[in-house]
């Protein structure tokens, strides 16, 4: 192996760029991935998976070192999923710190209006605008250790300080509250109570709900992981099929 | 120096234009990928942008793998 490595080094300058495409040696694969092979599925999967990770990017493109969820990636994917008859269900995996309110609400509305069964699962964190995305699905799960921060809409920088700005922010917040209360079992009072609670977050108002608490407040349907989520999604797919059969008859 | 501000860091320290140019979206065998150009004119996969779980099992374009787009 060492000998081969030496040979590779000496010929590197004359190597063509296209050479990388060749099936790479075992050594190279271990360097790249830390593993040699992965299992292969034979047929097309009827369940697709979307990950909402990092920051939800709005109108400002974040620097490349930020991990972001871009709505211009997510929304065309959702349209493709809605149109493809082979896809029967969608699972949303969330681990987000939040981000742009309007981009987040756009994704939530798209998910809520999808005709195919959807199940969301919050792993790690589903903070601020991640909350409407989590509740927009037909059924939602939260991992036992996952957290969700509920807090009022905030802006960082670039604000014109006039009374209308405050009203605009207030209306924006109402849109979030309306969306969450109409897509989950939480009441408006409880949600607002959590949103404006004092003493839970350092020098800020709001609440950080963890796993079971989110379920107790009615925000999320159930505590569980991937296994439960896939099982629930399969159940929802069966229900959808039964409904379609009735319509045809 | 400590900056006490509620402004997001990217507004205070604008990112260099060429930083954005490094990353791009490509289709590789029908799989949408986010790639970054490396020094030796190859592309390193940063993220698989597909919603199809099968695409994540494709060993040729796992994150970290180097691919050539010249074929």
* B18 in A contact zone (CB under 8 Å): no
Model confidence, pTM = 0.79
A25: tokens are: 């040696």
In the structure, what pLDDT confidence band is assigned to residue A15 with cuts at 50, 70 and 90? very low
Cα–Cα distances in Å, from B37 out to B20, B23, B69? 11, 7, 10
Residue of B39, B42, B51 for testing the chain A interface, max A β-carbons within 10 Å: B51
Can you list the domains of chain A with their CATH numbers?
47-241 (3.90.226.10)
Q: What SS3 class is residue A88?
A: coil
Query: How many angstroms separate the CA atoms of B65 and B71, rounded?
Result: 16
pLDDT at B13: 82
Query: How many angstroms separate the CA atoms of A219 and A16, rounded?
Result: 56
Distance of CA A162 to the CA centre of its chain: 34
Q: Dump pLDDT digits (tens) for B8-29.
A: 777 788 777 777 778 888 888 8
Confirm whether A127 is a catalytic residue: no
> From the CB of residue A8, how many other CB atoms can be counted at a distance below 10 Å?
13
Instruction: Find tokens 């006039």 and name the residue.
Output: A162
pLDDT at A136: 96
In the structure, what pLDDT confidence band is assigned to residue A221 with cuts at 50, 70 and 90? very high
Instruction: Give strand pairing partners of A120.
Output: A92, A140
Please list every residue in chain A whose beta carbon sits closer than 8 Å to the beta carbon of residue B67: 20-21
Mean pLDDT across A147-164: 77
Q: Is A33's CB within 8 Å of B70's CB?
A: no
Q: Is A33's CB within 8 Å of B54's CB?
A: no
- Cβ atoms of A157 and B8 within 8 Å: the answer is yes
Average pLDDT, chain A: 84
The better pLDDT of the pair B7, A50 is held by: A50
* B70 in A contact zone (CB under 8 Å): yes
Residues 6+ apart with CB under 8 A from A186: A180, A217, A218, A219
């Amino acid at each position: 192996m060492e000998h081969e490595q030496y040979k590779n080094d000496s010929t590197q300058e004359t190597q063509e760029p296209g050479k990388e495409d060749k099936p790479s040696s075992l050594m190279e694969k271990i360097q790249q991935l830390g593993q040699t092979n992965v299992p292969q599925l034979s047929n097309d999967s009827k369940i697709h998976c979307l990950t909402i990770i990092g920051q939800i990017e709005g109108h400002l493109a974040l620097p490349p070192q930020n991990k972001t969820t871009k709505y211009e990636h997510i929304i065309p994917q959702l349209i493709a999923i809605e149109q493809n008859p082979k896809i029967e269900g969608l699972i949303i995996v969330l681990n987000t710190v939040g981000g742009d309110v309007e981009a987040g609400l756009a994704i939530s509305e798209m998910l809520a209006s999808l005709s195919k069964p959807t199940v969301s699962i919050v792993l790690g964190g589903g903070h601020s605008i991640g909350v409407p995305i989590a509740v927009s699905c037909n059924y939602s799960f939260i991992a036992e250790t996952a957290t969700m921060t509920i807090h009022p809409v905030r802006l960082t920088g670039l604000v014109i300080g006039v009374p209308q700005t405050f009203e605009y922010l207030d209306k924006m917040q109402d849109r979030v509250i309306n969306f969450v209360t109409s897509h989950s079992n939480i009441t408006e009072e409880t949600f607002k109570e959590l949103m404006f609670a004092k003493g839970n977050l350092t020098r800020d108002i709001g609440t950080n709900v963890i796993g079971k608490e989110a379920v107790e407040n009615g925000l999320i349907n159930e505590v569980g992981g991937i296994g439960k989520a896939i099982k629930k999604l399969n159940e929802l797919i069966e229900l959808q099929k039964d409904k379609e059969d009735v319509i045809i008859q | 120096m400590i900056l006490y501000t509620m402004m997001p860091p990217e507004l205070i320290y604008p990112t260099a234009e060429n930083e954005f140019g490094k990353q791009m979206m490509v289709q590789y065998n029908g799989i949408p990928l986010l790639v970054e150009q490396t020094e030796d004119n190859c592309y390193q996969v940063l993220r698989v942008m597909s919603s199809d779980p099968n695409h994540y099992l494709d060993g040729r374009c796992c994150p970290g793998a180097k691919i050539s787009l010249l074929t």
